[in-house]
Amino acid sequence: MQFAKILAALCLCAGLACADPIALKQHCEVRSEPVFSRGGQYLLVGAGTSKSAVWNLWDVPKGQLLRSFSAPAAAGASGIKPVSASFAADGKTFALLFTYWDLGSVRVQVWRQGQVLYDQPGKGLEAYPFISLSPDGSLLLLSGWDLADKPGRDSSRVVTVADPKRYRNLKKAFSRWTDDNQMVVAYPETLIEEPWSGKIRQSTPLEAKKYGDKKNSGKSGWPYLGKTDLGLRFEKLMGKGRADLFEQSSGKVLASWPRLWGLVLDPKEKIQAVVTDEGVVLIDLKASQQAHALKTL
């Protein structure tokens, strides 16, 4: 697929809107949640068609498509989707997950600076496949397909990127990684667990979800976007109806889209990336609030 023709430049001047509000053009049938690197410099977004799905890696400040990573070939495959991705702390190491729904299988890869470090297939696909790379890039959390030693008993598993044969099946639901590469697992309480021994280092009450906490929501009931007065509301479920970017205090609508397919807030809570029918819009939240209008990068 030729992606050079679909690149669109980003306007780097803060507070100025691009002539074309679509910052990163995808032209995709396949939709995915966008994923920022820890520093916010890079963005991974699923694109392509259901027969030729890819993950696009963007340099956000430069507005450049660095590379497209195609789904590995599989005989008779269609219904291919790029469903989950994860960055290590360095921003240069990342994991990609493709699913082949008609085959009931998955393919997981870990890349670093153009080289494949890990490439493994999986089968027994479940409803919500998911991967998460540890901050140092050495460990990979896998979930959502048959990962158990015995058929019919799926589980979550942590594996070593350098040695896929070294793994441990998890008994509790994975939540996230700590900065020192320990695992946070949840229910009925939040536990910090050592990846290999399973030893519990710390136990605390179950973490409250930020966007489900009333303290982080406006009077309208929708969560605030970053440190602004803005909110993003949906007429129906994701991808099923109109979505509005609006001011919580006044109710003024700054922008609307027929539907959104994914969204993510950058780590610094300054940029909201939303996947639309035409591409990915990068919203400058502070500039939009100040101008009372949509401002993109």
Say what the pLDDT of residue 5 is. 33
What is the dihedral angle through the alpha carbons of 52, 57, 58, 64, rounded to the nearest 10 degrees? -70
- When pLDDT is averaged across residues 69-86 and rounded to a whole number, the result is 89
CB atoms within 10 A of CB 186: 14
Measured at the CA of 203, the angle between CA 201 and CA 209, to 5 degrees, comes to 125
User: Is the pLDDT reported for residue 206 higher than 60?
Assistant: no
Contact 249, 257 (CB under 8 A): no
What distance in Å separates the CA atoms of residue 149 and residue 147, rounded to the nearest whole number? Answer: 7
Say what the pLDDT of residue 68 is. 92
Q: Which candidate, 84, 76, 24, places its Cα nearest to that of 55?
A: 84
Start and end residues for every CATH 2.130.10.10 domain found in the chain: 31-170
- Domain 31-170 fold: Methylamine Dehydrogenase; Chain H (2.130.10)
User: Is the pLDDT reported for residue 36 higher than 60?
Assistant: yes
pTM for the whole thing?
0.83
Lowest mean pLDDT among 111-115, 158-162, 259-263: 259-263
The model's confidence at residue 212, banded by pLDDT at 50, 70 and 90, is very low
Peptide bond into 195 cis (omega under 30): no
What distance in Å separates the CA atoms of residue 41 and residue 62, rounded to the nearest whole number? Answer: 9
The model's confidence at residue 23, banded by pLDDT at 50, 70 and 90, is low
The tokens describing 115, both together, are 């080289």
- Tell me the three state secondary structure of residue 160: strand
Lowest mean pLDDT among 8-17, 63-72, 131-140: 8-17
- Tell me the three state secondary structure of residue 138: coil
Say what the pLDDT of residue 74 is. 84
Please name every residue paired with 109 in a beta bridge, in sequence order, or none if there are none. 96, 119
Q: 20-29, 129-138, 276-285 — which one is most confidently predicted on average? A: 129-138
